[in-house]
């Protein structure tokens, strides 16, 4: 455990970059077109206000073509390093013919298999795809890869109605209530749970039958789950994937002197999560000893960050 933690801290001390690529596809009619673009720009504005160190690309309207997406992702693949992260967010209409998912774009559509091929070229070991379109569940199998987190707004390719999940995903990025562990950072798992709960509440308030059920796959199985269970190893990667920080954590992230401390804190938090997932397989005394050690390290680092 000690050697693993040391290795992770050393890796985190290197300067890492994060790419955010948001694509809003065709709306088909003005109302949907405006809605999709508005959600994409809301996400763009939130990211630009909180991640000054990030590479942010937002494609909407005539710019959201398959060729332009390919160019952006190929450039990211060329420039990315293993310690980097990439987040791809898709908004709009998706289709699924029983075997292949496609995102509706101006000109040729983009298939899930094409997107997967582009991401497979990227050396960034931390990858997150948030497919918020209709029929997005149909993209899970093509996008699955060990170490990659895939979120879909629908549980299958047969849920074809327009989704509201992207509205609440954007909301999760700016609502402190999404930060359930109160560490002033929103993880992919926290955003997923927040948006999923808000989406379900929307249909209940409207007294409508829910036509979308968001799922996540971060185990590389291609089978999404609606409620990731730590005991089964589900949600572990998503819990450790920080989307953005706010408050004092955001200020510290922009302070070069504290960036290494933040990276160490994040890695120790990941170790605590891993330890909790392994609790059933570890002797009680050993579990308590390791947990206490990690919590003490976390407290010392937090004290340094707050100075």
- Helix ranges, the chain (H): 2-12, 30-50, 66-79, 112-120, 140-143, 165-172, 188-205, 236-239, 247-253, 256-277, 284-306
Strands 94-96 and 101-103, sheet pairing: antiparallel
Q: Supply the DSSP symbol for 301.
A: H
Contact indicator for 265, 240 with CB cutoff of 8 Å: no
Closest CA to 235 of 141, 123, 151, 139: 151
Q: Sketch out the chain's domains with CATH numbers.
A: 16-246 (3.40.50.1460), 249-306 (no CATH)
Render 92-114 in DSSP notation, one character per residue. S-EEE-SS-EEE--SSS-EEHHH
pTM beyond 0.75, yes or no: yes
- For residues 121 and 86, give the distance between their C-alpha atoms in angstroms, rounded to a whole number: 12
CB atoms within 10 A of CB 96: 22
C-alpha dist (Å) from residue 192 to 102, 139, 240: 22, 17, 13
Q: Is 278 helix (H, G, I), strand (E, B) or coil?
A: coil
pLDDT in tens, the chain (307 residues): 333 333 433 333 345 789 999 999 999 899 999 999 999 999 999 999 886 678 999 999 999 999 999 999 999 999 999 989 999 999 999 999 999 999 999 999 999 999 999 999 999 999 999 999 999 999 999 999 999 999 999 999 999 999 999 999 999 999 999 999 888 889 999 999 999 999 999 999 999 999 999 999 999 998 899 999 766 678 989 998 999 988 655 555 556 666 677 777 777 776 776 776 677 778 888 888 888 888 888 778 777 766 6
């Amino acid at each position: 455990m000690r050697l693993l933690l040391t290795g992770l801290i050393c890796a985190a001390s290197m300067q890492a970059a994060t790419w955010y690529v948001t694509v809003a596809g065709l709306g088909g009619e003005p109302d949907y077109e405006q809605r999709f673009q508005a959600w994409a720009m809301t996400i763009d504005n939130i990211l630009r206000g909180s991640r000054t160190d990030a590479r942010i690309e937002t494609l909407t309207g005539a710019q959201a073509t398959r060729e332009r997406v390919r160019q952006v992702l190929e450039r990211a693949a060329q420039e990315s390093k293993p310690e980097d992260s990439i987040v791809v967010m898709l908004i709009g209409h998706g289709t699924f013919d029983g075997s292949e998912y496609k995102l509706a774009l101006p000109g040729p559509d983009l298939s899930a298999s094409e997107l997967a091929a582009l991401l497979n070229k990227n050396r960034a070991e931390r990858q997150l795809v948030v497919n918020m379109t209709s029929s997005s569940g149909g993209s899970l199998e093509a996008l699955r890869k060990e170490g990659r987190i895939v979120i879909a707004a629908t549980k299958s390719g047969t849920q074809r109605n327009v989704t509201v999940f992207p509205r609440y995903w954007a909301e999760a990025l700016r609502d402190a209530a999404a930060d359930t562990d109160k560490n002033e950072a929103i993880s992919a798992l926290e955003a997923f749970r927040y948006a999923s709960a808000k989406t379900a509440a929307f249909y209940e308030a409207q007294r409508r039958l829910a036509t979308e059920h968001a799922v996540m796959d971060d185990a590389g199985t291609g089978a999404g789950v609606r409620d990731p269970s730590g005991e089964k190893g589900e949600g572990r990667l998503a819990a450790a994937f920080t989307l953005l920080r706010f408050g004092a954590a955001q200020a510290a992230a922009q302070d070069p002197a504290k960036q290494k401390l933040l990276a160490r804190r994040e890695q120790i938090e990941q170790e605590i999560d891993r330890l909790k997932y392994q609790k059933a397989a570890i002797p009680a005394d050993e579990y308590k000893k390791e947990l206490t050690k990690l919590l003490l390290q976390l407290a010392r680092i937090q004290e340094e960050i707050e100075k």
